[in-house]
Amino acid sequence: MKTGLELYIHIPFCAKKCNYCDFLSFRTLPTVHNAYVRRLNEEIKYYSEICADRRITSIYIGGGTPSLLEPELIVSIMKNIMENYDVEEDAEISIECNPGSAMRHKFAAYRKAGINRLSIGLQSANNEELKRLGRIHSFEEFLKCYQCARMEGFSNINVDLINCIPGQTGATWKKTLKNIVMLKPEHISVYNLIVEPGTPFFRMNECGLLELPDEDTDEEIDEFTRSYLKQTGYERYEISNWAKPSYECRHNIGYWTEKEYLGMGLGAASFFDEKRFSDTRDLQKYLELDFFRKDIEKELYSEKKELSREEEMEEFMFLGLRMTRGISSTDFLVRFKVQLESVYGDKLKKFTDLKLMEKDGYRYRLTDRGMDISNLIMSEFLLSDENTEVKSRNY
């Protein structure tokens, strides 16, 4: 039986950089889009021989804004994958869309190419909040986008939302969430705004020009999100993700449960053959790559490393604790041949006593309050001094 593998395809282009975004994305000319996809398709073909003994369980086309590309470019990527990889018949195949660039003819092309899941980046149903975020669309444009997706037959749609936006109140957040739930998407992602270094929001915040909601408003927003989504039939299965039964994002669950994946495209990260590596983040260098060269890996990868045992333990903890089901002490013992409590006992006791974590048999999981401050908790499960932050990957 072939081993399962996930594919991540990165499209780094966007129409406009949002004020909060620190992802690898930027604006460029359509001619560059074409050149990039040609090179990306070569990379996809290059990896196909290495993956001959793998079966693809999910594909995720992310960005940036993949829907910014002309649909024939997305179709060419999907055609290349389908022709050169063993893709499961019921594989989950997702693409990220921006309401300002996703039109009905694109959805039709996506469906025909085999894409069966959309992730639409709305962020807020309040147009003033969208302007503060630097989004290029209005809520009304989102509604048209969503309607077009349904009309083209998409029955698995995620809507991305951000809360704790500058100037946001409990009332505006409640209205946003209610407006989205009324549309009955199968999946809702709710992210707390993080002011990342290098973003316009970070510079504004340093100058005292960013008016973020206070702690009481944060708590009101988090509490309403939990209670309202549960009340309306959505189950929280991960810190930021809620789904109707059987509509959890299989691709992202793969990341959090440490399934192997290959990332292709500028800066895309991979976990393959027990190694972590990332493509170059230099666009010009990527466009000049020759995938027919035997030593291509030297130029393709910006970093490649095997994780130490300590780093593997860290990832086990901070990826597993993202899930509402938490982590298993039995799984930890089987994998690392050491008791979980002998490595992390003091931290587990500390957070359990603070009611930020709970133990159920052999499993530990974050409580609702623990999930609200998960970044602070996760940082305490790092074992080495060099690792001072939880590193992000494609998720």
Domain ranges of the chain: 3-255, 309-379
Tell me what pLDDT residue 389 has: 38
| pLDDT reported for residue 132 | 97
pLDDT digit string, tens, across residues 301-313: 987 888 899 999 9
Percent of all residues in the chain with a pLDDT value above 90, rounded to a whole number: 90
Mean pLDDT value across residues 197-216? 95
Mean pLDDT of all residues in 75-79: 98
pLDDT at 393: 42
Identify the architecture of domain 3-255 in CATH: Alpha-Beta Barrel (3.20)
Hey, is 268 helix, strand or coil? coil
- For residue 322, pLDDT over 60 is answered with yes
Confidence category of residue 384, pLDDT binned at 50, 70, 90 = low
Q: Closest by alpha carbon to 95, among 44, 71, 59, 136?
A: 59
- pLDDT for the residue numbered 385: 47
pLDDT above 70 for 391: no
* Residue 366 predicted with pLDDT over 90: yes
Higher pLDDT, 374 or 384: 374
**Pairing relation of β-strands 275-279 and 301-305?**
antiparallel
14 — pLDDT class (breaks 50, 70, 90): very high
Q: What are phi and psi of 32, to 5 degrees?
A: -70, -35
Model confidence band, residue 395 (pLDDT cutoffs 50, 70, 90): very low
Query: How confident is the model over 27-51, as a mean pLDDT?
Result: 96
* 250-298 pLDDT, tens digit each: 999 999 999 999 999 999 999 999 899 999 999 999 999 999 888 898 8
**Inter-residue long-range contacts of 36-39, CB under 8 Å, 24+ positions, other chains counted:** 36/11, 36/12, 36/265, 36/266, 36/283, 36/286, 36/287, 37/69, 37/73, 37/76, 37/77, 39/286, 39/287, 39/289, 39/291
3-255 and 309-379 in the same fold: no
Q: Give the pLDDT band of residue 87 (cuts 50, 70, 90).
A: very high
pLDDT for the residue numbered 302: 84
Which pLDDT belongs to residue 375? 87
Question: Averaged over 189-213, what is the pLDDT?
Answer: 95
Provide mean pLDDT across the span 190-196.
96
User: 350: which strand partners?
Assistant: none
297 burial (CB, 10 Å; 0-12 / 13-18 / 19+) is exposed
Q: Does domain 309-379 have CATH number 1.10.10.10?
A: yes
* Over residues 80-93, mean pLDDT: 98
Decide if pLDDT at 27 tops 60. Answer: yes
Which residues have a Cβ under 8 Å from the Cβ of 102 and sit 6 or more positions away?
Answer: 67, 120, 145, 148, 149
Phi/psi for 197 (5° steps) reads -55, 145
Distances in whole angstroms, Cα of residue 196 to Cα of each of 19, 20, 168, 216 = 10, 7, 18, 22
Residue 281's pLDDT is: 96
- Please say whether the beta carbons of 56 and 85 come within 8 A: yes
Is the pTM higher than 0.75? The answer reads yes
- pLDDT score recorded for residue 103: 87
88-92, 283-287, 296-300, 329-333: range with lowest mean pLDDT: 296-300
- Average pLDDT in the chain: 94
In this prediction, what percent of the chain has a pLDDT beyond 70? 97
